[in-house]
Amino acid sequence: TATTSAKIHVNGVDLHYQQTGEGSHAVLLLPGMLGSGQTDFGPQLKSMNKQLFTVVAWDPRGYGKSIPPSRDFPPDFFERDAKDAVDLMQALKFKKFSLLGWSDGGITALIAAAKYPNLIHKLVVWGANASVTQEDVRIYNGIRDVSKWSEKVKKPLEELYGYKYFAETCEAWVDGISRFAENSDGNICQQLLPDIKCPTFIIHGEKDPLVPQAHAEYIHKHIKGSRLLLMPEGKHNLHLRFAEDFNREVENFLR
């Protein structure tokens, strides 16, 4: 089936999304920092089962094609994204849906699942964290300067945004997320994890250079009945690098 690409007005902004499949189970894909459906979820939009699922990938405000507005990082930016994501799906007339969140999108998905339990069917997160440690801040500062990124990772984002917006937004993100380290326990959404009641699947790449494994273990421990899968060769982008394995695991969980 074809993939449609459109915008819909939600919470005062025009949010861009892509949609494919005609299955009765609706699934929202939530991208990571600077991400969009196009850059972050190619293999999922292409290969997830179109008979079982209706797959929606969104661009959060200020990212991808959901510009304007420019992206900013107020203290509640994850809550804002969670509300936007849920309201987008409701505007598209999905009564209940599952969330697949990567990295920042995983944090957004955790918050959405905790705050809107009646709307969320199942939850899958990978590369996510519920708090920010001093070690994390050190890792984030290591990626602050996008000119040092590998060409492969840098190129699609530079094409999407232009160099200036890409570089400035990355710096603003590092500052925005690092502020959580000042909270007690570096808290982002730790207190919300016990409120997540839907079936939850946490995937973590054991070679993830950006998110230490302790984060995945913490989320697993605090969401009752959740399942944790460790991928020995997986890095941060395990859903792209091992797309076939990832899609199979996730589809089996969502069935």
- List the beta bridge partners of residue 100: 29, 124
Does some domain include residue 76? yes
Active-site choice (208, 215, 220, 226): 208
Does some domain include residue 136? no
Does some domain include residue 166? no
Which domain CATH number covers 126? 3.40.50.1820
**Spatial contact of 60 and 132, defined as CB atoms under 8 Å apart:** no
Cα separation, 182 vs 234, in Å, equals: 30
From edge to edge, which strands make up the β-sheet containing 97-102?
4-10, 13-20, 53-59, 25-30, 97-102, 120-126, 200-205, 227-231
First to last CA, the chain: 20
Q: At 160, which helix (H) or strand (E)?
A: helix 151-161
Q: What is the pLDDT of residue 1?
A: 75
What is this structure's pTM? 0.98
Domain span including residue 35: 4-131+189-254
3-state helix/strand/coil string of 183-230: CHHHECCHHHHHHCCCCEEEEEECCCCCCCHHHHHHHHHHCCCCEEEE
Domain count, the chain: 1
Hunting for tokens 């025009």 — which residue is that? 14
Hunting for tokens 């808290």 — which residue is that? 187
**10-residue averages of pLDDT along the chain (255 residues):** 94 98 98 96 98 98 98 98 98 98 98 98 98 98 97 95 98 98 97 98 98 98 98 98 98 97
Does some domain include residue 40? yes
Does some domain include residue 153? no
Q: What is the pLDDT of residue 187?
A: 98
Quick one: DSSP state of residue 24?
S
Per the annotation, the verdict on 208 as an active-site residue is yes
Does some domain include residue 139? no
Strands 97-102 and 25-30: parallel
Does some domain include residue 158? no
- List the beta bridge partners of residue 187: 131
Distances (CA, A) of 230 to 29, 97, 122, 248: 20, 25, 19, 15
Active-site choice (36, 66, 98, 103): 103
Does some domain include residue 164? no
Q: What 3-state class would DSSP assign to 231? A: strand
Active-site choice (25, 215, 220, 236): 236
